[in-house]
Amino acid sequence: MELARHWRLKKQRYALQGEVCPHCQTKIFPPRDICPACKQEARTDHTFSGRGKVVAFTVVTQPPKGYEAQAPYVVALVELEEGPRVTAQLTDLGDEEPYIGMPVEMVTRKLRTVEGERGIIVYGYKFRPRLTVAQRA
Partner 1 sequence: MTEPLFPQRSVGIVGYGAYVPRYRLPASEISRVWHGGYAGHPVQEKAVAGPDEDTFTMALEAARNALARAGVSAEALRAVWVGSESHPYAVKPTGTLLADALGAAPSVQAGDWEFACKAGTEAMVAAIGLVGSGMADYALVVGADTAQGRPGDALEFTAASGAAAFVLGPAENALARILATYSYVTDTPDFWRREGEKYPAHGQRFTGEPAYFHHITQAAKGLLEALDMTPQDFTYAVFHQPNTKFPQRVAKMLGFTPEQIAPGLLVPRIGNTYSASALIGLTAILDVAQPGDRIFVTSFGSGAGSDAFALEVTEAILERRDRAPHTEDYIARRTEIDYGLYVRYRGKLAE
Binding site for partner 1 (CB under 8 A): 10-11, 14-15, 69-70, 89, 91-92, 94-95, 107-111, 117, 121, 123, 126, 131-134, 136
Segment contacting Zn ion (CB under 5 A): 13-21, 62-70, 83-91, 123-131? 13-21
What CA–CA distances, in Å, run from 56 to 70, 109, 122?
20, 21, 25
β-bridge mates for residue 86, sequence order? 78
Could you say whether residue 21 binds Zn ion (CB under 5 A)? yes
What CA–CA distances, in Å, run from 5 to 1, 33, 96, 108, 126?
6, 11, 38, 20, 22
Least spacing, CB of residue 38 vs Zn ion, in Å: 3
Interacting partner of 21 out of partner 1, Zn ion, none (Cβ under 5 to 8 A depending on kind): Zn ion
Is 1 or 121 the residue whose CB approaches partner 1 more closely? 121
Q: How far apart are CA 54 and CA 111, in angstroms?
A: 19
Q: Are 90 and 74 in contact (CB under 8 A)?
A: yes
Least spacing, CB of residue 122 vs Zn ion, in Å: 32
Is 15 or 77 the residue whose CB approaches partner 1 more closely? 15
